[in-house]
Amino acid sequence: MREFSFLDVGFTYRSLQAELDAAYGRVMASGMYIGGAELSAFEAEFAAWCGARHCVGLGNGLEALVLPLRARGIGPGDEVIVPAHTFIATWLAVAQTGAVPVPVDADPDTMNIDLSAIEAAITERTRAIMPVHLYGAPVPGEALRALCDARGLMLLEDAAQAHGGRDGNRRAGTIGHAAGFSFYPGKNLGAFGDGGALVTDDADLADKVRMLSNYGSREKYQHELAGGNSRLDPLQAAFLSVKLKHLDAWNTRRQQIAAIYLERLAQTPDLRLPLIAPGTQSVWHLFVVRHPARAALRIALGKRGVPAALHYPVANHHSGAFAATFGQRSFPVAEAICATCLSLPIGPHLSLDDASEIATIVDQVVRSL
């Protein structure tokens, strides 16, 4: 029996080994292990790829959300609107600044933030709205951007899962005032370690975030802000430059696999397929279906060589980190997603034939439950 992989982070190294080894050799020989030309080159390339003016390489995706909030002076006493259903880092980024995350339930079709419920969550303390392009699917931003501009709020995209996703002609990262990306190894664009980036058209914001990521300093020993240390290192930047050239092709493969799943599983009983908002294009970081007997389905798929994963099984308001503050609240759509979601294998390590075979197995297994 064939055993498929859910994720194969070694795939990109094996397919680009010569180029990646050359990048490694170049950085090691350069003697420049923090900052420098490799980092600046990647920042310029990634900004251009997204269609933004500025990119600031950072230590990880969490910091890419925390630092722009801090740079805008958001902290204790402030509120930031977040989706109830997201990876917990979105909420933690707000909490780290001292501000309060204000959750808005999910849209049951797209699983992204319910756009129709955002305005009612705005109070006099709201300073920012942080939509998440969850599973690679962009949140449509035009009305949201207009709302933020009218109310003087920051629109900060959590684009950690959506490198290359599109809302109309805009790529993720250029929909709001700024965006945080993660280069965690399993992401569509992943480093060989931790990494992240801020992307923005706002030169002042980029400058402040860069300072905050480097001890509050532009020039050595001139510490204008009480910053920290959160930098993308040039070795990771050099690897990311190599991988960026292949990202469009990898994203296309993900989209082709998703199209196969969507077509082949459309008639599968009780299986709820992901729906992408009109006018947007997902880059399918994850392909998340929903089924009432999720646990049994997962076990049965595993026996047929198809590993499936959970993104995410525990709602953020029920997690230990937030239960004391939000545990009594109810976000029924997010809770239902957590109880029924199941992620099928997707990624450039799978061929289109693999995707067809997986779709056949999923359909058969669901019907046999």
Ligand X SMILES: Cc1ncc(COP(=O)(O)O)c(C=O)c1O
Under the rule (CB under 6 A), what is the footprint of ligand X?
60-62, 86-87, 89-90, 132, 158, 160-161, 182, 184, 194, 196
Closest alpha carbon to 97 in 121, 114, 123, 78 = 78
CB nearer to ligand X: pick between 156 and 242: 156
Helices (H) and strands (E) in the chain, counts: 13, 14
CB nearer to ligand X: pick between 160 and 242: 160
CB nearer to ligand X: pick between 64 and 260: 64
Smallest distance from ligand X to CB 222, Å: 28
C-beta neighbour count of 34 within 10 angstroms: 12
Query: Which residues, at least 6 apart from 317, have a Cβ–Cβ distance to it below 8 Å?
Result: 84, 103, 323, 326, 327, 329, 331, 334
* Bridge partner residues of 180 (DSSP): 158, 198
Smallest distance from ligand X to CB 110, Å: 15
Smallest distance from ligand X to CB 352, Å: 26
Tell whether omega for the bond before 261 is within 30 degrees of 0, i.e. cis: no
Smallest distance from ligand X to CB 224, Å: 26
CB nearer to ligand X: pick between 174 and 236: 236
Residue whose beta carbon is closest to ligand X: 61
Q: How many whole angstroms separate alpha carbon 358 and alpha carbon 362?
A: 6
Across 234-257, b (16+ Cβ under 10 Å) vs e yields bbbbbbbbbbbeebeebbebbbeb
Q: What residue spans of the chain are helical by DSSP H?
A: 10-15, 17-30, 37-50, 61-71, 89-97, 118-121, 142-151, 203-212, 234-264, 294-303, 323-326, 332-340, 352-368
Smallest distance from ligand X to CB 133, Å: 8
CB nearer to ligand X: pick between 90 and 241: 90
CB nearer to ligand X: pick between 64 and 148: 64
Read off the tokens for 187: 């992401």
Q: CA 327 from chain center: how many Å?
A: 25
Query: Which residues, at least 6 apart from 13, have a Cβ–Cβ distance to it below 8 Å?
Result: 20, 192
Smallest distance from ligand X to CB 196, Å: 5
CB nearer to ligand X: pick between 135 and 300: 135
Smallest distance from ligand X to CB 293, Å: 26
CB nearer to ligand X: pick between 162 and 355: 162
CB nearer to ligand X: pick between 43 and 158: 158
Smallest distance from ligand X to CB 328, Å: 25
**Is residue 94 helix, strand or coil?**
helix
Q: How many whole angstroms separate alpha carbon 313 and alpha carbon 291?
A: 13
* 304, 298 contact by CB (below 8 A): no
Q: How many whole angstroms separate alpha carbon 217 and alpha carbon 180?
A: 21
Smallest distance from ligand X to CB 6, Å: 16
